[in-house]
Amino acid sequence: MQNPFPIPLNAVRAIEIVARRGALAPAAEELGVTVGAVSQHVRRAEERLGFELFERTAHGLVPRPALAQVLPQISAGFAALQDGLANLSGRDELVLNLTMGSVFASRWLIWRINKFTALNPGLEVRLTVTAAMLDLGRPDIDCAIRYGLGDWPGVATSAIGGRDFSPVCAPRLAERLPDPAALAQVPVIHDQTSMLSWPLWQKAAGLDADIQWRGPRLSDASLAFDAAIAGQGVLLAADMMSADAISDGRLVRPFKMSAKGQCGYWLATAKGRREPGKVKRFRQWLASEVPASAGGYMQQMSSDLPID
């Protein structure tokens, strides 16, 4: 009988990880072997197939067309195998592993996650907070909250919200801002990690989009929020993320207008991977909780000027 697996499954798994991550080291770490062992897996597979699987470039190992064409099938196969083993062990539904950036975690989720756990007794939620785009194909990650356009390769996404954004500041600083042009007279906090656009909001406010505001530059989004709350300047923030600080009076929106960008928050999972019940329940909870959390401040923004 002909062997249906001319390449050992360990080698196929190594090839799949290298193709996704672009290097040998991540595959070695995930498989718990040496980089040399992964290299041998790839080399022997290429010898058996009679052609090279990867192009060696300055930016890493890039799958050649033959491998790139079948990679989605291979990845989906390993995802299905992983999910099947998790179901077999009965542990799959006991822990929900989430990864996200610090702003979503600290400004929105951490204040509400108890509602989700109360609805799902027995389900432990584990958060990995990082700005890095972690590989969602990893067995220790179920889903992610990501900010951007929602078009990441190999990732299935559904929109959560967060496209509307506007300036926020401490109440005492807002007293010095009778109109948008007064931003030139106060510090403006520049979050260097932010994808929000001051020019887009300035256009909504009727200002010259080329105006450059002066103020401190911070490379951490959570620190930028804290600086705004401390009265150190005006920060451009997603309305969804500033809603709680607005409702309790730590921040205010000095101007009655928001802009609407193309970026937003997305629930992201590995494409081709079966969605377990715990992720489906988290998705459904987000769909109800996000609009509920927005209700208080949406009434304040009746004169918004959205821009697509």
Whether the pLDDT of residue 251 is over 80: the answer is: yes
pLDDT interval class at 2 (50, 70, 90): low
The pLDDT of residue 306 is 38
Max mean pLDDT among 29-33, 66-70, 221-225, 233-237 falls in: 233-237
The stretch 230-258 carries a mean pLDDT of 94
Instruction: With a cut of 80, say whether residue 299 has pLDDT above it.
Output: no
Q: What is the rounded CA–CA span in Å between residue 198 and residue 80?
A: 44
Task: Identify the CATH number of the domain defined by range 164-260.
Answer: 3.40.190.10
Say whether pLDDT at 236 is over 90: yes
The domain segmentation of the chain, as residue ranges, is 9-89, 95-162+263-298, 164-260
Residue 192 has pLDDT above 90, yes or no: yes
Asked whether residue 47 carries a pLDDT value surpassing 80, the answer given is yes
pLDDT of residue 92: 61
Task: Please count the residues of the chain.
Answer: 308
Examine the pLDDT at 184 and tell me if it is beyond 90: yes
What is the topology classification, in CATH, of domain 95-162+263-298? D-Maltodextrin-Binding Protein; domain 2 (3.40.190)
CA dihedral 203, 207, 210, 215 (to 10 degrees): -110
Range with top average pLDDT, 14-23, 82-91, 286-295: 14-23
Tell me what the mean pLDDT of segment 22-42 comes to: 89
* pLDDT at position 226: 95
d(CA 308, CA 305): 10
Residues 6+ apart with CB under 8 A from 77: none
CATH value of 9-89 in 2.30.30.90, 1.10.10.10, 2.40.160.40, 1.10.510.10:
1.10.10.10
> What pLDDT was estimated at residue 308?
36
The number of angstroms, rounded, from the C-alpha of 84 to the middle of its chain's C-alpha atoms is 26
When pLDDT is cut at 50, 70 and 90, the band that residue 303 belongs to is: very low
The whole-model pTM stands at 0.70
Q: How confident is the model at residue 91 (pLDDT cuts 50, 70, 90)?
A: low
Of residues 111 and 307, the one with the higher pLDDT is 111
Average pLDDT of the chain is: 87
Is there a shared CATH topology between the 9-89 domain and the 95-162+263-298 domain? Answer: no
State residue 20's pLDDT score.
84
